[in-house]
Amino acid sequence: MGRFGGVGRQIQNLSATGGDLAGECDLNSQPVKNVRNYVVEMSPDPVTPTRWAQVGLPTKSRFTASGLTSGVKYWFRVAASGSQGPGAWSDPATARAS
């Protein structure tokens, strides 16, 4: 597990909902201090360890995944990344793309 600010942190309270536009899912989590960015991974349903793929490196705890297939269920997980690399993955959240 990576560390940032001297303390390893796991993202808490990750939520995923259908986005405002077709083919989007909005993600939101509790912000973590002293991070460079967040690493967002997505998997189509059903989720398996080999289906996770990186879809973003936002600097904020909110992220919109776009270019998805409307009505399809997706799984998301997020890790905070700092000077010593990424921390632990969040618990996954799921949503259907708008």
Mean pLDDT of 15-40: 93
Superfamily of domain 15-96: Immunoglobulins (2.60.40.10)
What gap in Å lies between CA 5 and CA 40, rounded to an integer? 20
- Domain ranges for the chain: 15-96
Q: What is the pLDDT of residues 57-81, one digit of tens each?
A: 999 999 999 999 999 999 999 999 9
Both tokens of 51, joined, read 């289906």
pLDDT-derived band of residue 8, with 50, 70 and 90 as boundaries?
low
